[in-house]
Amino acid sequence: MKFFKRSDESEPDKTLDDLRARVTGARLPASVERIASQELDVLSKIGPSSAEFTIGLTYLDYLLSLPWQTKTEDNLDIDRAEKILNENHYGLERIKERVLEHLAVKVLRMNRKARVLIVDDEEIARKNLAHVLDREGYDVAAAPDAESGLRELERLEFDVVLTDLRMGKVGGMDLLETVRRRHPETRVIIVTGFATVPSAIEAMKKGAFHYITKPYKLDEVRDMVRQALEKRTLAASTRGTVLCFAGPPGTGKTSLGRAIALALGRKFSRIALGGMKDEADIRGHRRTYVGARPGRVIEEIRRAGSANPVIMLDELDKVGQDFKGDPASALLEVLDPEQNRSFVDHYLDAPFDLSSVMFIVTANVLDTIPAALRDRMEVIEFSGFTQEEKAEIARRFLVPKQIRDKGLATDQVAFTADAVDRIIHEYTHEAGIRNLERRIATVCRKIAKESLGPEGRRQVTVDPAAVERFLGKRSHQHDVVGEHDRVGVATGLVRTETGGDIIFVEAAKMKGRKELLLTGSLGDVMRESAQAALSYIRSNAASFGLPEDFFENQDIHIHVPSGAIQKDGPSAGITIAMAVLSLLTGRPARRDVALSGEITLTGRVLPVAGVRDKVLAAKRASVRTVVLPAKNRADIDELPERVRQGIDIRLVDAVSEVVDIVLA
C-alpha cells in the first residue's frame, strides 16, 4: 500500500511559491492582488498543519479561480439578435421589441471605451497627451480652447477631461466649474505649467480630481487618468436599467433570457431566489465560519468563467417572508449600478466588479417587490397566451422539441390540431404553457416506450382519442358550462400568481342577528369590499325590489374560494354584490357572465388591474360575457384582436347597470 502525502504538508513552501506565481500571473485588479499577497504572507507564517492554513489555501485558490478580468466579447449585431429571439419565440412582439431596444442601449453603453478630452492651447502638448492616452486604449478627443472643449462635452459623454489652466478667453478654472456643474459624472484633471499652491488649492476646492504640474512625466498622467476612471461612477442614464420580466409561469421569461444571452454571445446562468432563506445565500458567509462559502452571485460568475454573463434572478417576488437579514439591501448591492462596481461578497472580502453583468429579474407579481428595488428596474410584463397562441407554439416548438427530446424522429410522430386543442383545453389549466409542455412530453414518452414494444417502430398519429389513451380521463373541468345558473353564486375574475382565474363567490342567508359572515380567502381588503357591497344593497333596497328591513333577523354569509391574491381583493366587490343580490332577489346569476370591478358605497364601479390576464382566464373557462369597469377602457383597447375574439366585453360605470346583465 502506498501512502500519498498531501503536497501542502510535505512541501508547504513549494505550494506557497506556486500560489505566489499564480497570484502574479493572474491579472488580478490591484486591490485584489494586494489582498492575495497579504493572505500569502499570513500563510507563510502559520504552519501547514493548522486549520487556518487549509482555509487560507482554499480561499486563495477560490480567489484565483474567479474570472476577474475575463469577459466574453459581446456580439452587437442587433439584426442577428432579433433573428435569434424570433427563432425561439412565437408572438411576444411588443416584448421582443422592448428587449431589443434595451439591448441596443445597454450594449452601446457597456461596450463603449472610456473617453478622455484634452483641452490645451499648445498643439504639441495636445498631441503628446493624445498619443499616450490613445495607446492606453481610450477614445481621445482634443480641443484647443475651453469653448470648443465645452461644445465637445455637449456632443458626447466624456469620463475624464484633462485641461490646461491658462488659455484663451476662458481659462481652465472656469472650464472646471462648468464641467462640474453640467457634467457632474466627468472627472477633471488640471495640467499646468503655472502651478502655484493657491491655484492648486482652488482647483481641488472646485472639484478637480487632481492637479498635475508641468513638466510632467507621461507615466504620471497615465496613472492619474487610470485612477480617475477607476473611480468614475456610471452616468445617471444607466441607472434603473435592470430588466424585470413579470408575469405568470410558463410565459417564456426564462427562455427569452436564454435567448438574450445567446444573441449577445454571453454565458447564461440562473439563480432561484424563491427558496432563499439567508442573506448569506446572496452575499456569502464570512470566512471565519467553518465551511464558509461565497454567495450565489459570485458562484455563478465563477461557474460561467466570465465576468459579464447574463444572470437571471428568478422569483424576486418570493423572497422575503422568512428571510434572515434584509434581502432588499443585499439585492440592491448586486443590482444597483451605483453599488455593484465594487460588490463585496463576505467570503471573498474583496470587491468584485459586477457592473458588466447583465441582470434580468423575474417575478410572477410585482406587488410584493420592495419599492427600492422596483424603482431600479425596467419592468416588462409578460401575460398569458390565448388558446390559439398556445396551439401555435405547441405546433412550432413544443411538439417537435419533445419528440426529439424523447429519442423519436419528428417524421415518425404527428399530433393533429384537434389533439393539441384537446390537451390545452382538457388537460391543462394555466396562463402559460408549462403544463402543456409536460403533457406533450408525457405523450411522447409513452410513444417512445411503445416503440420498443412488440409492435416496434411505426408511424404514430396522435389524435384526440389517442390523447385520452395516453393521458387518461380529462383532468380539468374549470368551465362555467355544464352547470346550471344558481341563486347566490356569481362568477368572478381574479388575478393570481399564475395569471388569471375564475372564482365562484357564494352567498347564503340564515336566521340570525344582522351579521355578515365571511369565509374563504378573504383578506382585509376583500372584507371591506363585502361590507361595501352589503351596505350599498341595503341603502338601495327599494330599487332592487327588496323590503327595507331585509337584513333584520338574518345573517348573510359570503364565501370566496381560495386562489385570489389578497391585493386583488377590491376587484371582487362587484361579484360579491351580485352574489348577494341574486340571493336576496331569488334571481339566479348567470354562470357564463364573469365580473371584475371594485365598488364604492354609492354603487360606482372603479377600475381593476390585470385586465388581459382576466380576459384570457374567462376565455379558458368558456365564459361568454365579461363585465369590466368602463374606466378600464384603455386596457381593453390595447388588447389584440385575437384576445378579444369570441368574448363579449361589457363596460359599466355603476352596479345598477350590471344587475340585468347578470341576474336572470
Q: So which residues are the catalytic ones?
A: 571, 614
Quick one: cell of 188? Answer: 477633471
Smallest gap from residue 403 Cβ to ligand ADP (A): 14
Taking CB under 6 A as the rule, does residue 393 contact ligand ADP? yes
Smallest gap from residue 330 Cβ to ligand ADP (A): 23
Chain-centre distance of CA 78, in angstroms?
21
Taking CB under 6 A as the rule, does residue 24 contact ligand ADP? no
Taking CB under 6 A as the rule, does residue 573 contact ligand ADP? no
103 neighbors 77 (Cβ within 8 angstroms) = no
Smallest gap from residue 185 Cβ to ligand ADP (A): 36
Q: Please pick, from the candidates 43, 92, 490, 628, the single residue that binds ligand ADP as defined by CB under 6 A.
A: 92
Taking CB under 6 A as the rule, does residue 384 contact ligand ADP? no
Question: What DSSP letter does each residue of 195-234 carry, written as one string?
Answer: --HHHHHHHHHTT-SEEEESS--HHHHHHHHHHHHHHPPP
Q: Which is nearer to ligand ADP, 55 or 366 (CB)?
A: 366
Those residues whose C-beta lies under 8 Å from the C-beta of residue 61, and which sit 6 or more positions away, are 19
Q: Which is nearer to ligand ADP, 272 or 328 (CB)?
A: 272
Smallest gap from residue 51 Cβ to ligand ADP (A): 43
User: Among candidates 111, 154, 152, 159, which has minimal Cα distance to 133?
Assistant: 159
Taking CB under 6 A as the rule, does residue 437 contact ligand ADP? yes
Smallest gap from residue 558 Cβ to ligand ADP (A): 34
**What's the chain's length in residues?**
664
Taking CB under 6 A as the rule, does residue 90 contact ligand ADP? yes
Taking CB under 6 A as the rule, does residue 89 contact ligand ADP? yes
Smallest gap from residue 254 Cβ to ligand ADP (A): 3
Taking CB under 6 A as the rule, does residue 499 contact ligand ADP? no
Chain-centre distance of CA 534, in angstroms?
40
Q: Which residues pair with 492 in a beta bridge?
A: 503, 595
User: Among candidates 115, 160, 161, 157, which has minimal Cα distance to 138?
Assistant: 115
By CB under 6 A, the count of residues binding ligand ADP is 17
505 neighbors 489 (Cβ within 8 angstroms) = yes
Smallest gap from residue 53 Cβ to ligand ADP (A): 45
- Cα separation, 469 vs 434, in Å, equals 21
Choices 151-159, 274-282, 433-441, 562-570 (CB under 6 A): range interacting with ligand ADP: 433-441
- Cα separation, 346 vs 289, in Å, equals 11
CA neighbours closer than 13 Å in the CB half-sphere of residue 219: 0
- Cα separation, 155 vs 183, in Å, equals 12
Taking CB under 6 A as the rule, does residue 475 contact ligand ADP? no
- What residues numbered 197-256 form the site for ligand ADP, per CB under 6 A? 249-255
Taking CB under 6 A as the rule, does residue 433 contact ligand ADP? yes
Omega of the bond prior to 215 within 30 degrees of 0, cis? yes
Q: Which is nearer to ligand ADP, 77 or 93 (CB)?
A: 93
522 neighbors 562 (Cβ within 8 angstroms) = no
- Cα separation, 116 vs 129, in Å, equals 10
Lay out the site mask for ligand ADP across 176-195 (x = CB under 6 A, - = otherwise).
--------------------
Choices 90-98, 164-172, 373-381, 577-585 (CB under 6 A): range interacting with ligand ADP: 90-98
210 neighbors 229 (Cβ within 8 angstroms) = no
Q: Which is nearer to ligand ADP, 259 or 467 (CB)?
A: 259
Choices 84-92, 274-282, 411-419, 449-457 (CB under 6 A): range interacting with ligand ADP: 84-92
Helix%, strand%, coil% for the chain, nearest 5? 45, 20, 35
- Cα separation, 145 vs 438, in Å, equals 68
Taking CB under 6 A as the rule, does residue 91 contact ligand ADP? yes
Choices 431-439, 459-467, 469-477, 556-564 (CB under 6 A): range interacting with ligand ADP: 431-439
Smallest gap from residue 385 Cβ to ligand ADP (A): 7
What does the binding site for ligand ADP look like in residue numbers (CB under 6 A)?
89-92, 249-255, 393, 397, 432-434, 437
